[in-house]
Copies of this chain bind each other. A is one copy, B any other.
Amino acid sequence: MNQIINKVGTYNFSAEPFHCDFSNRIMPGHLGNQMLNASDYHSDERGYGIRYLNTINKTWVLSRLCIEMEQFPKAYTQYTISTWVDKVMHSFTTRNFDVLSSDGTPLGYGRSIWALIDTETRQPFEIAKVNNGVIQQFVETTRPCPIAEPDRVRITQPTTLALQLKACYSDVDINGHVNSIKYVEHALDLFDLSWYRQHQLKRIDIAYVAESHEGDQLNFYKASLGNEEFAIKVVRFDKTAQTEKECVRIKVKFVKE
């Protein structure tokens, strides 16, 4: 835990071997959840985390996330995730991340947009009204985050149904809805091991449109965008009405190894 006074929070993690994939690198989904954990620790230590927000019927909802990696941490190595809020606008914040190896080498970066909402009305809530606007003390505008902003992920290409699943116990996190990163894990499972043997995940953009919950049928539609880039649309299928509701749009960019 870092000094509460800093604008940037830095957290130490281990790339434990049994959280690594076949290539001895940390599972992208595991890294994504560690970024969410870092976000939560950072806001919690500064008086505007979900633990406090839940006591006043508010919460953070992730609206967009992108992660761009030079390399994923390797098994048995240590790494840090630093995170800071660089902008606050009414009910939205933008939060950035960097991932460094233990010797300080940048491994990758992240950017995210979060909305503060009222858990009863599900409407946006003004951040300045939380804990006397404490967040303003911790806005960090100078630390660089040298990757592009999170893409809105417009999918105009024709897609094909690639996966259908029912959201289960292990999909649901502490917030009671399908975990933001679980969509990513399922999306990355649309590519087989032979693909991962020749390609490294370079960047992922996720636009969160609507929540889903345990028992929901989720359909994953996939389109190739060329150049090792793919779009994946996740929709919630309503069996009774036979309608689909868009939940998440994902863009993944690979590079050849």
- What is the copy number of this chain in the assembly? 2
Q: Which residues of chain A from 5 to 58 have a CB within 8 Å of any chain B CB? A: 16-22, 24, 27, 29, 33-34, 36-37, 40, 44, 50-51
A: interface residue count bin: 35 or more
Q: How far is A193 from B216 in the complex, measured between Cα atoms in Å?
A: 12
Q: Which of A33, A168, A179, A214 has its CB near the most chain B CB atoms (within 10 A)?
A: A168
Query: Within 8 Å CB of A37, what residues of B?
Result: 16-19
What's the Cα separation between A89 and B18 when bound, in Å? 25
Contacts of A16 in B (CB 8 A): 33-34, 37, 40
Q: What separation, in Å, do the CA atoms of A188 and B214 have in the docked complex?
A: 14
Q: Which single residue of chain B is at the shortest CB-CB distance from A24? A: B174
Closest to A195 in B: B169
Pair B33/A173 contact, Cβ less than 8 Å: no
CB-based contact A169/B181 at 8 Å: no
Asked whether, in the complex, the Cβ of A176 is within 8 Å of the Cβ of B22, the reply is: yes
Q: In the assembled complex, which residues on chain B have CB atoms less than 8 Å from the CB atom of A191?
A: 169
Task: Tell which of B17, B170, B172, B179 touches A174, judged by Cβ atoms closer than 8 Å.
Answer: B17
Pick 18 A–B contacts, CB within 8 A, sort by A: A16-B33, A16-B34, A17-B37, A17-B50, A18-B33, A18-B34, A20-B174, A21-B170, A22-B172, A22-B176, A27-B170, A168-B192, A169-B189, A169-B192, A169-B193, A170-B185, A192-B214, A193-B215
